[in-house]
């Protein structure tokens, strides 16, 4: 294993990469972090559809970020990734994974042969026929995973692992919370929102909501005829604070609030489902991350609809910062760093 590894997050029109050394130590070192943008239509639902565009962006990312390794851990986490509770007889983990294609077809929306399957063990229990292992089934469309891996390889990089982005977020934002009970993590990306429930840092529940912060921008552009840059500026300047909008922008305020209310409703309903199915496992708090979490007034709105204490997550809190990190610009990228950072922690373990 290389001395350092890069966690690579392929987002909607943006590549994020973090190079970390000492991922198995108590204080891993974040050596470098960099982002580059690319045309968002080069990916569709998290899958690379224009490989040449991604390859150019990846080469630009490595040149500008000055990363010292080409070993990459790639994150996957989009609408085509499914996670479900699964209990299986207690046998070695490698045997569980080998048997998955024959056991889980009824749980999948696609043939098992077209999916990449994994099993994340959570706990042991006693079943009707003997000991069982309770865990999470993870299934991703094989075509999407392979398309992203091929793009990384075509850029001259070496993908040493592929990991589920929600698990990476949990490691970066929740694993350092001993005794915190069950905590909800809500990561608002551009086109998806990831909800993870973790107990003592171990993921128990994962759902990916197919909407995110980009929907607000799209609604302002298509509904009010704004340019994308003006829509982003309006969203960033005023957010959900209706009284901060000038009188001529009331329509924009109503649009931002209406679209965001839909997302808030989805988050509330997802947490309500968890609470209803696990009444003996109360949630103690909620950690908010992702670029969409920066919308003015959004944390307070999440707190209101979920009735949980909300805090903004800091994915760098468990890392030592190397000299290659610009601490002045760090706050502007902090909300979106979680996936890239969390990927490096698994790779070094």
Query: What pLDDT, on a 0 to 100 scale, did the predictor assign at position 334?
Result: 93
Query: What pLDDT, on a 0 to 100 scale, did the predictor assign at position 91?
Result: 93
Nearest CA to 154 out of 307, 306, 50 is that of 50
Q: In the numeric block, which tokens belong to residue 90? A: 């207690």
Nearest CA to 298 out of 331, 267, 330 is that of 267
Query: What pLDDT, on a 0 to 100 scale, did the predictor assign at position 348?
Result: 42
Q: In the numeric block, which tokens belong to residue 319? A: 């890392």
The single residue listed with the structure tokens 């309770």 is 134
Instruction: Report the distance separating Cα 154 and Cα 228, nearest Å.
Output: 31
Residue 239 phi, psi dihedral angles, 5° rounding: 55, -130
Instruction: Report the distance separating Cα 348 and Cα 276, nearest Å.
Output: 37
Torsion of CA 109, 111, 112, 118, to 10 degrees: -30
Q: Residue 205, SS3?
A: strand
CATH 3.30.420.40 at 178-313, yes or no: yes
81-141 and 178-313: identical CATH topology: no
Per-residue pLDDT of the chain (349 residues; tens, 9 = 90+): 458 999 999 999 999 999 999 988 888 999 999 999 999 999 987 789 999 999 999 999 999 999 999 999 999 987 778 899 999 999 999 999 999 999 898 888 889 899 999 999 998 998 888 999 999 999 998 988 999 999 999 999 999 999 999 999 999 998 766 666 899 999 999 999 999 999 988 899 999 999 999 999 999 999 999 999 999 999 999 999 999 999 999 999 999 999 999 999 999 999 999 999 999 889 999 999 999 999 999 999 999 999 999 999 999 999 999 998 988 889 999 999 999 999 999 644 3
- DSSP string over 290-315: SGGGGSTTHHHHHHHHHTS-EEE--T
- pTM higher than 0.85 for the full model? yes
For domain 81-141, which architecture applies? Answer: 2-Layer Sandwich (3.30)
Instruction: Report the distance separating Cα 235 and Cα 248, nearest Å.
Output: 15
Whether 200 and 179 have beta carbons less than 8 Å apart is answered as yes
Torsion of CA 234, 236, 241, 245, to 10 degrees: -30
Query: What pLDDT, on a 0 to 100 scale, did the predictor assign at position 346?
Result: 66
Query: What pLDDT, on a 0 to 100 scale, did the predictor assign at position 178?
Result: 61
Q: 165-173 vs 338-347: helix axis angle to the nearest 10? A: 90
Strand-pairing partners, residue 325, are none
Torsion of CA 114, 120, 121, 126, to 10 degrees: -40
Query: What pLDDT, on a 0 to 100 scale, did the predictor assign at position 179?
Result: 63
What is the residue extent of each domain of the chain?
Answer: 81-141, 178-313
């Amino acid at each position: 294993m290389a001395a350092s590894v890069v966690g690579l997050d392929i987002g909607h029109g943006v590549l994020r990469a973090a190079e970390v050394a000492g991922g198995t130590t108590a204080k891993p070192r974040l050596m470098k972090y960099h982002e580059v943008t690319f045309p968002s239509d080069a990916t569709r639902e998290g899958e690379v559809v224009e490989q040449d565009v991604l390859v150019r962006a990846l080469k630009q990312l490595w040149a500008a970020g000055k990363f010292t390794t080409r070993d990459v851990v790639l994150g996957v986490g989009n609408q085509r990734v499914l996670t479900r509770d699964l209990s299986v007889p207690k046998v070695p983990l490698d045997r569980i994974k080998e048997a998955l294609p024959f056991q889980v077809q009824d749980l999948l929306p696609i043939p098992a042969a077209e999916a990449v399957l994994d099993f994340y063990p959570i706990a042991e229990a006693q079943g009707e026929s003997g000991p069982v292992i309770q865990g999470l089934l993870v299934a991703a469309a094989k075509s999407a995973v392979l398309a992203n891996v091929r793009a990384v390889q075509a850029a001259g990089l070496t993908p040493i692992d592929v990991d589920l982005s929600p698990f990476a977020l949990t490691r970066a934002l929740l694993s350092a919370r001993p005794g915190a009970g069950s905590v909800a993590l809500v990561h608002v990306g551009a086109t998806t929102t990831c909800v993870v429930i973790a107990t003592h840092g171990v993921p128990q529940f994962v759902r990916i909501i197919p909407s995110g912060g980009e929907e607000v921008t799209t609604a302002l552009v298509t509904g009010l005829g704004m340019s994308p840059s003006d829509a982003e500026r309006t969203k960033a300047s005023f957010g959900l604070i209706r009284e901060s909008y000038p009188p001529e922008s009331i329509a924009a305020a109503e649009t931002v609030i209406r679209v965001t209310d839909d997302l808030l409703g989805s988050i509330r309903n997802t947490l309500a489902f968890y609470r209803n199915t696990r009444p003996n496992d109360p949630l103690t708090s909620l950690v908010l991350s992702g670029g969409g979490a920066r919308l003015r007034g959004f944390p307070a709105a999440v707190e209101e609809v979920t009735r949980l204490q909300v805090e903004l997550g800091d994915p760098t809190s468990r890392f030592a910062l190397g000299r290659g990190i610009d601490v002045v610009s760090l706050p502007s990228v902090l909300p979106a760093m979680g996936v890239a950072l969390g990927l490096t922690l698994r790779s070094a373990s």
